[in-house]
Amino acid sequence: MIRTERLIKQYRRTRALDGVELNVPEGSVFGFVGPNGAGKTTTIKILATLLAPTGGEAYIGGIAVTRNPGKVRQLIGYMPDFFGVYDDLRIDEYLDFYGASHGLAPVRRRKMADDLLELVDLGAKKGEYVDTLSRGMKQRLCLAQALIHDPAVLLLDEPASGLDPRARVEMRELIRELQAMGKTILISSHILTELAEMCTHLAIIDAGRVVVSGPVDEVMGRTQGGRVFTVKVLDDPGWATTVAAQSPGVKTVTAAAGELRVVFDGGDEEVAAFLAALVGAGVRVVSLAEANHRLEDLFLQVTRGDEG
């Protein structure tokens, strides 16, 4: 659905993008990760038709961004990392304004506004002024604004920036709901553990270049040579370790304090077979969880480690 070919952006002596290649499948939630200044926002602005590349090309739905920006804008909804709202408008007026800007007929935009306010849990506040909303509510309103013309693609630049933990959970659940509706979502964020839980695909950019990209399971498998799981058991962990080590796909197993730490080389089907083998051998498994720190590990491995 989204594809870039050797995307370049040059600012005098600074090359912000240096041949960026992305391939975002239709219906995916694609995490875009990188240090500050790596090129995330520049890439998203080019995809949103707000910035012209110096070289290369980007495509959304097969349409070239630089050649037909008007058609691309019909396909995308863009939520920037910093956005302004019209504080002297009511919430329903705010969405009506954006609906009119996209050329929606009055009846259509009122229906879309009502549906979207319910989706983002602001239906009860439609008659209130925008300046009365909390930051989290304004973020959700901005997302509703990006959806007012029912785009197939969402470009979300740091949508959870500045939100408290509850608001981040609400935003994450909303993004999952949008994916279930068939939207293709490109999302940049510094909250790496949440991206690992939410995304189907992932790319890491550093110094204007994509250094790793692909399905999350495939990308994460590069950390420590495989996917890392912790398995809590009720039985002697030494015996459980012996059983686990004989399972296909298991690279290493260590045990401590009633838990196994398993480095696993395989996809979700192999993980399911591994768990079934443990239970089938009589190991009483309390829980199996994938280590959430792995994205940070991979990030540090493949980037320069600076925040410049």
CATH number at residue 48: 3.40.50.300
Q: By percentage, how much of the chain surpasses pLDDT 90? A: 47
**Shared domain check, 150 and 244:** no
Residue 13 lies in a domain: yes
**Shared domain check, 228 and 202:** no
* DSSP structure class, residue 122: -
Give the integer Cα–Cα distance in Å for 104 and 148: 9
Task: pLDDT band for 185, please (50, 70, 90 cuts).
Answer: very high
Instruction: Work out the average pLDDT over 157-164.
Output: 80
**Shared domain check, 253 and 131:** no
Instruction: Work out the average pLDDT over 177-196.
Output: 85
Look at residues 159, 186, 214 and tell me which one is the last residue of a structural domain: 214
Instruction: Work out the average pLDDT over 260-288.
Output: 84
**Shared domain check, 243 and 209:** no
Q: Which of 229, 213, 214 is nearest to 270 (CA)?
A: 229
Residue-by-residue DSSP string for 242-259 = HHHHTSTTEEEEEEETTE
Number of domains observed in the structure of the chain: 2
Residue 293's pLDDT is what?
54
Look at residues 214, 233, 252 and tell me which one is the last residue of a structural domain: 214
Residue 268's pLDDT is what?
79
Residue 64 lies in a domain: yes
Of 59-63, 127-131, 250-254, which one has max mean pLDDT?
A: 59-63
**Shared domain check, 231 and 95:** no
Instruction: Express each pLDDT in 210-224 by its tens digit.
Output: 998 988 877 776 655
Cβ-contact 113, 104 below 8 angstroms: no
pTM for this predicted structure:
0.77
Domain that holds residue 70: 2-214
Look at residues 214, 236, 257 and tell me which one is the last residue of a structural domain: 214
Residue 40's pLDDT is what?
93
Strands 201-206 and 29-33: parallel
Please enumerate, as own/partner, the contacts of 201-204 that have beta carbons within 8 Å and a separation of 24 or more. Answer: 201/24, 201/25, 201/28, 201/29, 201/30, 201/31, 202/30, 202/31, 202/33, 202/295, 203/22, 203/30, 203/31, 203/32, 203/33, 204/33, 204/34, 204/298, 204/299, 204/302, 204/303
Going across the sheet that includes 227-233, the strands are: 250-256, 259-264, 227-233, 285-290
The Cα-based distances of 83 to 43, 175, 200, 265 in angstroms read: 17, 19, 27, 42
**Shared domain check, 206 and 96:** yes
Residue 260's pLDDT is what?
85
Residue 191's pLDDT is what?
67
Residue 303 lies in a domain: no
Residue 55 lies in a domain: yes
**Shared domain check, 148 and 203:** yes
Find the angle CA(170)-CA(87)-CA(151) to the nearest 5 degrees. 50
Give the integer Cα–Cα distance in Å for 282 and 30: 39
**Shared domain check, 236 and 149:** no
Give the integer Cα–Cα distance in Å for 97 and 86: 10
Residue 41 lies in a domain: yes
Task: pLDDT band for 306, please (50, 70, 90 cuts).
Answer: very low
Residue 308 lies in a domain: no
Instruction: Work out the average pLDDT over 274-282.
Output: 87
Q: By percentage, how much of the chain surpasses pLDDT 70? A: 93
**Shared domain check, 58 and 201:** yes
Residue 52 lies in a domain: yes
Q: What's the residue count for the chain?
A: 308
Q: Which two tokens stand for residue 75?
A: 């396909």
Residue 306 lies in a domain: no
Instruction: Express each pLDDT in 86-116 by its tens digit.
Output: 778 999 999 999 999 999 999 999 999 999 9
- Scan for tokens 């398995």, then name that residue: 231
Instruction: Work out the average pLDDT over 177-193.
Output: 87
**Shared domain check, 198 and 250:** no
CATH number, position 264: 3.30.70.100
DSSP alpha helix (H) spans, the chain: 40-47, 69-75, 91-101, 106-119, 135-146, 165-180, 192-198, 216-220, 237-245, 268-280, 294-302
CB atoms near residue 246 (< 10 Å): 11
**Shared domain check, 110 and 92:** yes
Residue 292's pLDDT is what?
57
Torsion angle in degrees (nearest 10) through CA of 247, 248, 252, 255: -20
**Shared domain check, 209 and 234:** no
Contacts of 84 (CB under 8 A, 6+ apart): none
